[in-house]
Structure 1
Amino acid sequence: MSWLVPFAEVGARPVLVCLPQAGSGCGVFSSWQDSLDDVTVVGVALPGREHRFLDLMPATFADVVAEIVAALVATVPAGRSMVLFGHSFGGLLGYEVARALPHTHTPDALVVAASRPPHLSGRAAGSMGDGDGAEVFANLLSAKELDDDLRELVLEILEQDAELSGTYTDPGGAPVPCPLHAWGGESDELVTAAHLAGWASYAGASFHTRRFPGGHDFCLALPAEVRALFSPSRQGV
């Protein structure tokens, strides 16, 4: 199954690549396409959810990154204006994808939303992969209206993503080749302002932080803010 789900034809438009949070699928970004009619929104489809329910997750975080990079290179034309947007766990994936993409596909920007920096990820205390961290993230489900079957399914996916997160190794401050934007929710108890500031050491070209009203899922209603990050000089290449 494909690792990418374009919500419109790529054509000659800029591309917004959306990487979902742990336990979620890229379908949460499908409505963004209606708000961004001059951009193609492309969701990253991780195994074990949505149309990839029966697909197995690769063994390591690095394997997943390699699959996503290969799919993007095959789908997005070289030189095309592209922004990577990662939510929570997806932000960490986005960081590694930005570093691994060839120079022909260097993003205009990387947004890490509600995401802890690499040195606090993997098996670091409080992260998803430290053994107990998944329980903290699972508590987010208590505030959502889910029936028992769906809640159990999401928990299974969370556990799978936690295992994958545990295979991640911090590259020691390796910078991304594009502007880095760390966004957070003002009432997010999982990812604080200090966590956002921690991304500064992974920035190359420039670093920006911004906080919005809301909690850990604040970013699911921000397509207009993301649209402003595309480089006009590279659109329609």
Structure 2
Amino acid sequence: MGTWISTWPTGPADSRLPALLCLPPAGAGCQQFRAWQPALAGIAQVYGVQLPGRENRWREPMPDTFGEAVTAVVDELRHTVAADRPLVVFGHSFGGLLGYEVARRVRPRALVVSACRAPGHWDGAGHGIVEDDAELDKLFDTAGVDPAFLDEDTRALMVAMLRKDAQLSLSYAHTPGARLDVPVHAWGADGDETVSAEELAGWAEVTTAGFHRHTATGGHHAVLRRPAPVLEQLAGLLRGDGDRLPRTA
């Protein structure tokens, strides 16, 4: 079995550096965050969560439930990052939901989510992807992928990954409990047709330590396509001075 957490050190490992845990969107792997490590060199060690069924774990079966996936990530994280080491969790879209449930168990310094509806708005969110090819094509479009230019095998693999992640999301049921006592930063995009302003604003209900709204320009994946602003914010949070950074909310 492969590991749930990947890392890409640019030099000798330094366990004193803060850790940034990155969770990718549905249908994607964590290798996209490899490019973030040079940008945060000397500030943090970047870790990516790798679900089964993609990249180096493509032969492995998905967990049966959302809760099983969260438990596996948290168990490995606790063996990878010491409890007293500063940690910031970042998740994009479906990865934001996973990141939230991880944060409920490990209490990071901050939770940063982008293009992700708040937990109370997730009920049934994956039905369209699981059941409707038109919804899948729409999702390819938001990712900047034209299905017409994909060969049959590549499209089949991408569809399988998206549907498995969507099926996993359907097993999620938000269980209200104690709110997070860490700040939550939610990034949205002014052209996002997948996550509404109301769904993004719902993140204010999950924390007692401050909610901060930020806006990017573009569509659903705007933050991942042009990550400089969120990387600047993450660097500040990792250093412990995030609240003094200019806000775009």
TM-score by length of 1: 0.88
Superposed displacement of residue 173, structure 1: 6.1
Deviation, 1:56, is: 1.0
The answer (yes or no) to whether the contact 1:122–1:167 under 8 Å persists in 2 is: no
Q: Is the 8 A contact 1:122 1:129 kept in 2?
A: no
What does 1:83-94 align with in structure 2 at a 5 Å threshold?
83-94=88-99
1:147 alignment partner AA: L
Give every structure 1 segment of 4 or more consecutive aligned residues whose post-TM-superposition deviation is greater than 6 Å.
none
Report the more deviating stretch, 172-181 or 135-144: 135-144
Change (3 A) 1:59 1:10: farther
AA aligned to 1:55 is E
The residue that corresponds to 1:223 in the other structure is 231
**Does the 8 Å contact 1:36/1:224 carry over to 2?**
no
Which ranges in structure 2 are unaligned for 5 or more consecutive residues? 242-249
1:160 Cα shift? 0.2
AA partner of residue 119 (structure 1):
G
Q: 2:127 and 2:14 mapped to 1: Cα distance?
A: 35
Q: Could you say if the C-alpha distance between residues 59 and 23 of structure 1 is closer, same or farther in structure 2, counting changes exceeding 3 Å? A: same
- In the alignment, structure 1 residue 63 sits paired with structure 2 residue 61: no
Helix, strand or coil at the partner of 1:228: helix
Post-superposition Cα deviations, 1:124-148, rounded to whole Å, max 9, x if no partner, equal xxx1146558853552313325622
Contact 1:173-1:201 within 8 A present in 2 as well: no
Q: What residue number does 1:4 align with?
A: 5
Q: Cα RMSD (Å) of the superposition?
A: 2.0
Counterparts of residues 76-225 of structure 1 (less than 5 Å) = 76-101=81-106, 106-123=107-124, 127-129=125-127, 132=131, 136=135, 138-142=137-141, 143-144=144-145, 147-148=150-151, 149-172=153-176, 174-220=178-224, 221=227, 222-225=230-233
Q: Report deviation, 1:151.
A: 2.5
Within 2, Cα distance between the matches of 1:65 and 1:5? Answer: 16
Give the partner amino acid of 2:37. Answer: Q
How many percent of aligned residue pairs carry the same amino acid?
41
- Per the TM alignment, residue 84 of structure 1 is displaced from its structure 2 partner at its CA by 0.2
Aligned counterpart, 2:35: 31
- The one-letter code sitting in structure 2 at the alignment partner of 1:59 is D
Q: State the 1:191 CA deviation.
A: 1.1
Contact 2:136 2:159 in 1 (8 A): no
Q: 2:244 maps to what in 1?
A: none
Q: Which amino acid aligns with 1:140?
A: L
Unaligned regions of 5+ residues in structure 1, if any? none
> Compared with structure 1, are the counterparts of its residues 137 and 226 closer, same or farther at alpha carbon in structure 2 (3 Å cutoff)?
farther
- The residue identity in structure 2 corresponding to 1:117 is A
Whether the aligned pair in 2 keeps the contact of 1:134 and 1:158 (CA below 8 Å) is: no
For the 8 Å contact 1:141–1:151, the answer to whether it is kept is no
Shift in Å, 1:153: 1.1
Aligned to 2:245: none
Partners of 2:177 and 2:192 in 1: CA distance: 24
**TM score, norm. by length of structure 2:** 0.84
Q: Per-residue deviation at 1:204?
A: 2.3
Q: Give secondary structure in 1 for the equivalent of 2:26.
A: coil
